[in-house]
Structure 1
C-alpha cells in the first residue's frame, strides 16, 4: 500500500481538478445531476466551489510530484473532510439528493488517505 498510496492520491487530485473544472464551466448541469435547485446565485457559488476544488486538487498534485513539505498535504486533507461534511449537510437539509452522498463518501475516504500520507510524510521529515 505505501507505494500505491501516492499514485492513488495523484488519481484523486486529478479527479478533484477535473470535477472542479466541470463545476466552474457547467455549474447548473452539475447542480441538476445532484438534485439541487438551480438559479443564478446557486450556480455562481457552486462554480466558486469548483474553483477551490481545482486549486486544492492542483496543490495536492504538485505536493505529490515535488514535495513542498507536509503542510500543503495537511490542508488538502482538511479540504476533503470539509467538503464531505458540507455535502452531507446539504443532503440533510434537502439541498442535494442522496446521490450527492457518493461524492461526500469519495471526499471522506480521500481525506483519510491524504491524512495517512501526510502522517507518514510528516514522520519522515
Structure 2
C-alpha cells in the first residue's frame, strides 16, 4: 500500500512542479508571495527540481527491485522543501496558506523515509 501512495505523491509532485514552472507568478500570488521577475524565475527553478525529484521517485518505485538510494534522496528533498516553505511562512515571504504545502511535503518525507527504512532492511 505504501509504494502506491508514494507513486501518487510522486505524481502530485511532478504535476505541481510543472505548474510552478509554467505559471510561477500565478502560484506565487496564490500563496501570498512577491511576483516580481526574480522571484518568479527562482520559483520556476524550484518547480523544475520538483519535477525532477518527483519523476525520479516515480520511476524508482516502478522498477524492480527498488533501490534505496534514490528513495533516500527524494525523502531529503521533501523534508528540505517542508523546512524551506515553513521558514518562508515564518519570515513573511509566504502566507499561512503555504503551510498546507509544507505539511504535504513533511508528511511525504516521513512516508518516503518509512519506505526507505523498509528497503534498507531487505538489502
* Unmatched segments (≥5 aa) in structure 2: none
CA drift of 1:68 comes to 5.0
Q: So what's the TM-score if we normalise by structure 2?
A: 0.97
Q: Secondary structure at the match of 2:32?
A: coil
The DSSP-based 3-state class of the residue aligned with 1:99 is helix
Question: Could you tell me the TM-score, scaled by structure 1's length?
Answer: 0.96
Structure 2 distance, partners of 1:44, 1:25, is 10
Q: CA separation in 2, counterparts of 1:118 and 1:69?
A: 9
Query: Which of residues 106, 109, 122 is equivalent to 2:120?
Result: 122
Whole-Å separation in 1 of the counterparts to 2:14 and 2:47? 8
Distance 1:41 1:18 in 2: 23
SS in 2 for 1:94: coil
RMSD: 0.7
